[in-house]
Structure 1
Amino acid sequence: MIVGVIVACEIAFWVLLVAGLVARYPLKLRRTGAVLLASTPLVDVVLLAVSAADLHAGGTAGQAHALAAAYLGFSVAFGHSMIRWADVRFAHRFAGGPPPHKVPKKGPERVRYEWREWFKALLAWAIACGLLQTAIWWVDDPARTGALRGMEGSLSLVLVVWFVGWPVWVSVAQLLTPNTIGRKQSTSKMKRR
């Protein structure tokens, strides 16, 4: 049942997002669009309530319960930026808004972007692990919460890999890349001589 609720919540999130953007831009119903977009967090509340009710009724926590906590953490941490990402593209396409900003492949702006995204992932991890740990304490039965503890380890591993593979890697690459601005200035000084 929990897997079905997760799928339904994921679908509901995207339906509310698209409906809000369509109402806001092509239909020019700004208030309706804002209400639909603002209601996307309700999907997370429904998912949390269903998961908690199932565990309270004596259900054994499985991967679906663990995924519900991970989904909720991801949605809270990344939901706003996902909505903003879609909003900019809809505004450009349907309301003459400016084109979406593209993050450069390298440089200081790319480094800031990678660190910002990783800190969102850290927030998602903290929320998900907080929910998982709360459920473990609430159920208070190790035989029924093994999947929740396993998800804490998996999420921690993903966070470490993300940390090393993106913000650290991009930061080190930026430090090792010669300063092209400095090189251009020194080249122009040499040409003047």
Structure 2
Amino acid sequence: MLVALIIACEVGFWVLLAAGLALRYLAGMPRLGAAVLLCEPLLELTLLAASVVDLANGGEPGWRHGLAALYLGYTVGYGRYTLKWLDRHAAHRLAGGPKPPGATYGRERAVHEWKLWARTLAGAAVALALLQAGVWYVGDAADTGALRAWQLVALRVLGIQALIAATYSIWPRKAPAGADPAAGEAGALAGKDR
């Protein structure tokens, strides 16, 4: 049941996102679109409650609980960023808004990558905390090896993101020949509120 709920939450996320953006930009109802987008956190609260209820009812801690924790961590770390990114692109494509800032180069790109790492850190911290709470909750009553394995997955993802950010710091990406380097800087400055 928990796996089906994780899938339903993921599908629900994209359905609510599409409906909210369609209402904002295609139907010309920005307030209703924003209200639909604000329903997104309810999906994550539902998933969290279902995971707790499953463990409380004697469910064996397993990969599905770990996946739910990582999903919730991703939502905390990247949920708002994803919504804003997609909102900017929808405004550009559907409502004639300004083109969202594109890829940046040099130091600005490295800073952007470290900001993404900070989001990954926040998501990993949430996932690790939820998984540790699950370990403490079930205690010695069940095998918690699966939950501990998912903690290692969260740490690996954090490490990979740090390596990616470090490569942009050590070997900064250069603007292609003929491209205006100032355009990359302007794009980075326009996207600073991410």
The TM-score with structure 1 as length reference comes to 0.86
Shift of 1:103: 2.0
Q: Secondary structure of 1:100's match?
A: coil
User: Which residue in the other structure is 2:90 paired with?
Assistant: 90
Report if aligned partners of 1:103, 1:113 keep a CA contact under 8 Å in 2.
Answer: no
- Equivalent residue runs for 1:1-193 within 5 Å: 1-104=1-104, 106-141=105-140, 143-164=142-163, 166-174=164-172
Q: How far off its partner does 1:174 sit?
A: 2.9
Q: Residue 189 of structure 2 aligns with which residue?
A: none
* Cα distance in 2, alignment partners of residues 80 and 66 from structure 1: 22
Q: Given that residues 73 and 126 in structure 2 are in contact (C-alpha distance below 8 angstroms), is that contact kept between their aligned partners in structure 1?
A: yes
Query: For each residue in 1:104-132, what CA deviation from the matched residue of structure 2 results, as whole angstroms up to 9, or x when unmatched?
Result: 2x311111110000000000000000000
Contact kept, 8 Å, 2:74 with 2:123, in 1: the verdict is: yes
Separation (CA, whole Å) in 2 of partners of 1:170 and 1:135 = 36
How far 1:143 sits from its partner (Å)? 3.1
Q: Which secondary structure state, in structure 1, belongs to the residue aligned with residue 101 of structure 2? A: coil
Report the alpha carbon displacement of residue 139 of structure 1 after superposing the two structures with TM: 1.3
Paired letter, 2:155? S
- For the aligned residue pairs, the C-alpha RMSD in angstroms reads 1.4
More displaced stretch, 135-144 vs 63-72: 135-144
SS in 2 for 1:170: helix
User: Any idea what the Cα deviations from partners look like across 1:137-183, whole Å, max 9, x if unmatched?
Assistant: 1111263322111100111122112212x1111101139x8xxxxxx
Q: Indicate the residue corresponding to 1:185 in structure 2.
A: none
Where 1:141 maps in the other structure, the secondary structure is helix
- Kindly name which structure, 1 or 2, has the bigger radius of gyration based on alpha carbons: 1
